[in-house]
Structure formats: structure tokens, C-alpha cells
Amino acid sequence: MKKILPISIGIAVLAWVSYFFWSSSWHTEGELWGIEPNIVDPSADVSARLSGLFYGDIHVDLDSNDPAMIDTPYVVSVDGIELTDVAWANLFRIDVTLPTGLPLGLHDVIAESPMDDTLVLADGLVVTPGVPEVDSITPAQPANIFLPGPGDGIKLDGTGKGSITRDYAIDGLPLLKSFRFSWSSDHHIGSIRVKPGSPVADPSPESMAPGLDDINLIFKDDSSSNEYKFHVEHANLLGASVERRKAFDFCKGECVQQLIRPEGETEFVIIGFSFWFTGNRDHHIDRIGILENNVTVSVVYADKNADDTYKWELEYAYVPTSFIAAKGQVGGLESTADNPGSDSKGFGVGASNAHLPSVIRGFMFDFDKSGADRHLRRIGVITYSTGALAFFADQGYSKSSDKFNWTLRWGLLRSPRQVHDPDLGS
């Protein structure tokens, strides 16, 4: 007796069969979009899910209700550590188990397909101690009630040379959450920039501003020939009446400037920044940072002699404290032995705040050895709701001479419900 498939199942089968014929006949490279969760604690096994387009030779058994199967499995690894529990679920998902004991730090996730494609999610996984479990998410407000608060943020990963401009549209106030630049080898440093488009005109006439829906990034020595990898991310504050402001100056060593703060209780948050040595020159680096204290910003971009002229630019906002769920400062002397040139610290916040967007209120890097400066290979701060990773390293890392001190001032944005009722999540 013939088995007649329901129309919906028949269409699904035809789609799979068509896909099988198409993928076998016309090879198309897959894609790796993300991993969830992307922040894990190394003290226990963690079930995770890769998302993307995971092609392969797929078969469907028409005589059973079993799901589609892939003939040859994917091989998934985290920075060279091959995962043993990998299950292809469907065209868009692979389930994996992240094992106990992964090294601390930021890691590439790599999926190798049965068709010999290598899919790479660069710096896609953060391993850090003390990631709390989130038992519940704050309930959504009714659709007819608008409450100011954080919306969907934006992030961008990629490669570039010299000065690059990319699409970066955000509908609220972009508050800097993370940035990271890295070369494949170390170089002198000339310029560093994270500059999202802004409705605020640049006070410096020679500056080139990106469009409102763009971002301009720079990481270069005295040329623009060296390719770099970048990661940049902004939190998004919606519906808040917050002024964006800009400041700039020319400086040698460390300089201070008075800022403009509105009345009321507020917290300083960085939107974007730029540093470059004048005359298209490059140098070793010893210290770099932006820290605000009592409406005065301290800025430094210097080698060990601190005698080279540079220009700095800063875009910032003073955010009302009603939008800040938690704040603090972390850092110290680098202590991550298994990932030299980086360090991680937890914020010490509870699980009730573990889903809130993080922002950067200030940062500072300083190579530890007195009277010494270095080439630069990578620099950055990756923040998340419960902690941060810092990067500051040259190519020839040595534990005895190249450790760095760092400071990060961080904040967490309240959810719309918490802004409406500050007793929640406090």
C-alpha cells in the first residue's frame, strides 16, 4: 500500500531533496554566524548552539518520522581544542558541548564542514570565571507603554587597512561597549580610532566625520598597508534626553580638560575616541587611556618619553544615573597566565543584572616595566554584563617584562522596567 504524505510534509521533503541535489551538484560555502551562549565559565561543561548555514550531504528517510541526517559530521573546535560532542541539528544549527577547562580569554570558534570548508567565528567565545546563571528575564512591558531604556545594540567584526568606514546604523544613543584591534604581528602605532556617526559637529575643523549611519575605524602605523582585525560594539540607549558632546586637543604625555556636564545626577560614558601622533608619525607605546574624574577628563597617548605631540578626540555623554543599574572599576596587573597579553575580571554583579547591556566609562593601559615602551600588536576591552576582558600586548610577550596594568570603569544600563521602577534589580 502506498504511503501518501500530507502536503506540508511533502513540500518539506521536496525542499530537502532539492537542497540535497543542489548542494551536492553546486558546492556553496557555509556560514558561521554565532554561538550561544558566547560567554561561559570554564569550571563546568556547557551546552551551546552554533548558528549559521551548515551544508552537507543530507538524507531523509521517507519511511519514518526521523529528522534529516547528515552523512559526514562537522568538526568543531575552539582555538585548536576539538570538541567531542558535536551534533548537526539542521541546516541552521549545530549543537555542541563546551568542555570543562577551556583556557580563559577570547577564542575563535571553528567549524570544518564535510565539504572541506573552514568556517571561522573570530573571537566569538569568551571564557571567564564566575558567569552567573540567569533564572529569569524581566517581563516585557505592554506594547502601548513606552519606557526609555536600552534597545538592541550593534556590533561589527571584520578586517581592514588604515582608515575604514562601515555601515553602523543605530536608532538611539550609541554608548561604547567594546573595542578590540589586532595585527598579525606587532608594529609602531600611529593612530587608533572608534568614531561612530554623530549629529554633533566636530569641533576640530580638520576632522573627517563619518555619516550618521556609519562608523570610522583606524588602527595603523605610519602607513596603511598592514591589515588588522577589529571588533567594535555599542549599547543603545533609547528614549532618553541625553546630550552628546565632543572634545579635542593637542597634547604631549598626559593632559586634562574640563568637560561640560548637565545638571542632575549623571555618569560619564564614552561614545567614541581617536588618538594619532601628528605628522603621520608612529612610535612605541607605553600608556594610552581616557579617565574622567569630577567633570575633568585625563587623556594619555605616549611612549616612555612622553614628548611626542598627538591629537585626541572624544565623544561622550553624561547619562542620568536613573539609567545606570550598576557601576564600578576593575583592572590591575595582568594575571592571565594561559593567554599572555590579556586579562579578565568579573564585575561582581548578581544574576538579576546578568542580561543588562554593559558600557565603558573609562579605560587606561600601561606597560608595567618602568621606563619601557613596546611595539603594539593588540589592544582593546571586551565588556559583557558580568565582567570584562582586556588586551594590551606586543608580539614578543615575556612574562617578566611585558605585563600590563589596566583600568576599566564600567556601567550596566537598566532595563526599561527597572528605569520605571528603580527598586527592581537594584
What is the tens place of the pLDDT at every residue in 362-375? 999 998 766 666 77
Instruction: Report the Cα 417 to chain-centroid distance in Å.
Output: 25
Q: Is the pLDDT of residue 51 over 90?
A: no
Looking at residue 163, the DSSP 8-state letter turns out to be E
**Beta-strand relationship, 227-238 and 31-36:** unpaired
In which band, very low, low, confident or very high, does the pLDDT at 137 lie, cut at 50, 70 and 90?
very low
pLDDT at residue number 396: 57
Of 138, 175, 127, which is closest to residue 155 (Cα–Cα)? 175
pLDDT at residue number 370: 63
Q: Which three cell numbers stand for residue 194?
A: 572608534
Mean pLDDT of 35-41: 83
Q: Is the pLDDT of residue 329 over 50?
A: yes
d(CA 189, CA 303): 10
Q: Is the pLDDT of residue 12 over 60?
A: no
d(CA 276, CA 274): 7
Q: Which three cell numbers stand for residue 217?
A: 575605524
pLDDT at residue number 64: 54
Q: Is the pLDDT of residue 3 over 70?
A: no
Residues 6+ apart with CB under 8 A from 354: 131, 132, 133, 134, 385, 386
Mean pLDDT of 215-242: 88
Main-chain dihedrals φ then ψ at residue 245, nearest 5 degrees: -135, 160
Q: Is the pLDDT of residue 296 over 90?
A: yes
Percentage of the chain modeled with pLDDT above 90: 35
pLDDT at residue number 284: 79
Mean pLDDT across the chain: 79
DSSP letters, 31-53, are EEEEEES-EE-TTS-EEEEEEEE
Q: Is the pLDDT of residue 243 over 50?
A: yes
Q: How many CB atoms lie within 10 A of CB 141?
A: 14
Quick one: which H or E segment has residue 152? Answer: strand 149-161
pLDDT tens, position by position, 331-357: 988 865 555 678 888 888 776 677 789
Mean pLDDT of 50-61: 72
Cβ proximity of 367 and 373 under 8 Å: yes
Q: Which three cell numbers stand for residue 359?
A: 558600557
In which band, very low, low, confident or very high, does the pLDDT at 90 lie, cut at 50, 70 and 90?
confident
Cβ proximity of 182 and 229 under 8 Å: yes
More confident residue, 247 or 38: 247
Q: Is the pLDDT of residue 138 over 60?
A: no
**What is the location of CATH 2.60.40.10 in the chain?**
7-127
Q: What angle do CA 156, 157, 158 make, to 5 degrees?
A: 130
d(CA 346, CA 331): 10
In which band, very low, low, confident or very high, does the pLDDT at 376 lie, cut at 50, 70 and 90?
confident
Q: How many CB atoms lie within 10 A of CB 355?
A: 15
Cβ proximity of 248 and 314 under 8 Å: yes
**Burial (Cβ within 10 Å: 0-12, 13-18, ≥19) of residue 73:** middle
pLDDT at residue number 172: 84
CATH of domain 7-127: 2.60.40.10
pLDDT at residue number 303: 84
pLDDT at residue number 66: 56
pLDDT at residue number 338: 53
pLDDT at residue number 261: 92
pLDDT tens, position by position, 161-196: 999 999 999 888 899 999 999 988 878 888 999 999
